[in-house]
Amino acid sequence: MTTRATGTYTTKSWNENPYHKKDGSATLTRASVENTFAGELVGDGILEYLMVYGADSSATYVGLQRFEGTVGGRKGTFVARIEGTFTSAAAETWTIIEGSGTGELSGISGTGSVKSLDEKTAEYTVEYTV
């Protein structure tokens, strides 16, 4: 049975550094991020983004986030693959990586979406099965 989880997360830390920056070329960066989740996902996320910035300051990014906490009252961890874009606000999609769940989240799979509410807070919706 598929369950829908909704809520928000807050960014606790964001450490971003360029690893390729050259005049006339897109800038490539890596960001290490820590998030705190509330709602139906309760816990913490550790996230690594790889980002590319265009001349207009928009960004396209991919990442992996390890969530640790509870989902619908089940305790464990999982890893989600993230793809997104940032123009004036971030919008991204999640895919929970099959086989990454531990504890009571063993066997979890699903997809979701995120949209930013402000610089530190985002709203998520995740459809999952365990």
pTM of the model: 0.91
Mean pLDDT of the region 28-34: 97
Q: Over the chain, what is the mean pLDDT?
A: 94
- Contact (CB, 8 A) for 81 and 53: no
- pLDDT, tens digit (0-9, with 9 covering 90-100), for 74-95: 999 999 999 998 876 667 899 9
Write out 35-102 in H/E/C secondary structure. EEEEECEEEEEEEEEEEEECCCCCEEEEEEEEEEEEECCEEEEEEEEEEEEECCCEEEEEEECCCCCC
- pLDDT recorded at residue 81: 98
Q: Domains, the chain, ranges and CATH? A: 3-129 (2.40.350.10)
Residue 1 exposed, middle or buried by CB count within 10 Å (0-12, 13-18, 19+): exposed
d(CA 83, CA 15): 18
Give percent above pLDDT 90 in the chain.
Answer: 80
User: Is there a contact between 83 and 92 (Cβ–Cβ < 8 Å)?
Assistant: yes
Cβ–Cβ under 8 Å, residues 4 and 31: no
